[in-house]
């Protein structure tokens, strides 16, 4: 039954020990023609769309710590992500029923904390079971790949920071 699937909306894992909040991290690096932004293709089991580094926030951690943990555990980048302004949010009503069904009953919105992390020139992420491909792109191309508005806004904020 898809309702028993522990994955949250948009592929973010939700468990009883996670707050109903997420982090999204814009990873950028210097490229030959300017700043490049990392975009990751989620696996088919994670709905198969382009996204940024993202993850849940544990009850005993701050969003910035969750971002740093996710970068190191999932992508092999050890750095301190910097906040990109205030939180973002999305309504679950706009997601398809199989996605909404993964959330606890009564949950209507999800809070997203955006961060930026700088990677060194030439750095590439480690891929895992959640992500099947990675692409570095300039701002407009990266935004065009992203499915949801919150990661697009995070890239815009990172580009102006």
Dump the DSSP string for 9-45.
GGG-B--TTEEEEEEEEEEEEEETTEEEEEEEEEPGG
Higher pLDDT residue, 19 or 156? 156
Query: pTM to 2 decimals?
Result: 0.83
Higher pLDDT residue, 58 or 68? 68
Q: What is the pLDDT of residue 14?
A: 44
Q: Above pLDDT 90, what percent of the chain? A: 56
Task: Give me the chain's average pLDDT, please.
Answer: 84
* Among the listed residues 127, 148, 107, 142, the one whose alpha carbon sits nearest the alpha carbon of residue 26: 142
Cα–Cα distance measured from residue 12 to residue 64, given in angstroms and rounded to the nearest whole number: 16
Q: Above pLDDT 70, what percent of the chain? A: 84
Q: Is pLDDT of 2 > 70?
A: no
Q: What is the pLDDT of residue 99?
A: 65
The number of residues making up the chain comes to 161
**Highest mean pLDDT: which of 58-72, 104-118, 147-161?**
147-161
Q: Is pLDDT of 88 > 90?
A: yes
Per-residue pLDDT tens for 93-140? 877 776 667 667 777 888 999 999 999 999 999 898 889 999 999 999
């Amino acid at each position: 039954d898809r309702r028993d699937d522990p994955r949250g909306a948009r592929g973010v894992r939700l468990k009883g020990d996670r707050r109903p909040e997420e982090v999204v991290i814009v990873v950028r690096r210097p490229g030959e023609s300017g700043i490049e932004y990392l975009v990751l293709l989620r696996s088919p089991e994670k709905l198969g769309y382009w996204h940024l580094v993202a993850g849940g926030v544990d009850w005993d951690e701050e969003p910035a710590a969750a971002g740093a943990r996710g970068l190191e555990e999932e992508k092999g980048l050890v750095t301190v992500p910097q906040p990109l302004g205030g939180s973002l949010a999305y309504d679950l009503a706009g997601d398809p029923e199989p996605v909404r069904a993964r959330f606890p009953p009564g949950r209507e919105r999800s809070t997203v904390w955006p961060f930026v992390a700088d990677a060194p020139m030439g750095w590439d992420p480690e891929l895992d079971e959640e992500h099947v491909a990675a692409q570095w792109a300039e701002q407009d191309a990266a935004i065009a790949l992203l499915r949801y508005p919150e990661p697009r806004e995070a890239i815009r904020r990172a580009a102006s920071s």
